[in-house]
Chains A and B, each alone.
Chain A
Amino acid sequence: MAATAPGNILMTKLELAANWARTRSMFPATFGLACCAIEMMATGAAHYDLARFGMEVFRASPRQADLMIVAGRVSQKMAPVLRQVYDQMPDPKWVISMGVCASTGGMFNNYALVQGVDQVVPVDVYVPGCPPGPQSLMHAILTLHDKIMAGEIRN
């Protein structure tokens, strides 16, 4: 006997549902450091709108955030602070390294910067650009969403 569910019930796997919920309302933590922070603010502003992805609420407290966008150059003095903020975020958490300074040290290959923020925190998506335009940042966020939906990142 074929039993069909009534039309207003969806059946799916628990993982898919959890991943869908996680991607559709990621709260970024404010970690804007330098010029990339301005582009991040411009991405959240009216012209390139992050609110359509559910992300316009930039949580100030890392305890309430699940995405950390490291936007800008990380100096030697800031690296322990970065690690501490990352540790304070609850699981599941993701990190986007925005801009070349955060990804690899950028054009400042010198004593003052950490050459790549992945020496301090694990990074999921890197965004190149100096600074990356809002379209690049949104592409990175959508890539992260796709990776989470596909189950590539398990956290």
Chain B
Amino acid sequence: MIPEFEALAERFPEVVWEDSHGQQVARIPNEQWYEFAEAAKEAGFNLLSDVTAVDWYRSRRYRFDIVVNLTSMSIPARLRMITTADREDPKVASLVPLWPGANFPEREVYDMFGITFEGHPDLTRILMPDDWEGHPLRKDFGVGSVPVQFKASPKAV
């Protein structure tokens, strides 16, 4: 672990640090999400690479993982921050005040998963039409595939 990670580990003792195929992962409790992100940004992680989420439908005690990949241009290094959100009313603090580039990806996570980002300036649907119901990337939203049939066949499905 590089010294920046060790400093962060000392400051946030409840964070679990793992190594995933050579990349550093920090699992953070939901309440400390914004503080940890702020500390990481001060430690030099100035580029937000990615914000996404994973829906662990029934396999874990919680439901959603929110994953943020940070990159430090000065060190250089990558850090992955993961936090969890519950089944009913999943919410997490928004990182837009720290990195304005988190605006669109958090809207996308809201659109696809239904996770509310508290403090986001404009949390609306971004990819689906505004009146769409449901959150497509959740595991209980079906793919929506249409049974393929030949339209001219006499026996329609």
Interface residues of A (CB under 8 A from B): 76-77, 105, 109-112, 115
Contact = CB atoms under 8 A, between A and B. Distances in A.
A111 B146 CA distance: 9
B128 A110 contact: no
B145 A110 contact: yes
The prevalent SS among residues of A at the interface is loop
B44 interface: no
Interface of B: 128-129, 132, 136, 141-146, 148
Given A77-B128, A111-B141, 4 more contacts: A76-B129, A109-B143, A111-B143, A112-B128
B118 to A, nearest CB: 27
Contact of A76 (B128, B145, B146): B128
The prevalent SS among residues of B at the interface is loop
Contacts of B132: 76
Contacts of B145: 109-110
Contacts of A109: 143, 145-146, 148
B143 A110 contact: yes
Nearest to B143: A110
Nearest to B130: A77
Contacts of A115: 146
Contacts of B136: 111-112
B144 A110 contact: yes
14 contacts: A76-B128, A77-B128, A109-B143, A109-B146, A109-B148, A110-B143, A110-B144, A110-B145, A111-B136, A111-B143, A111-B144, A112-B128, A112-B144, A115-B146
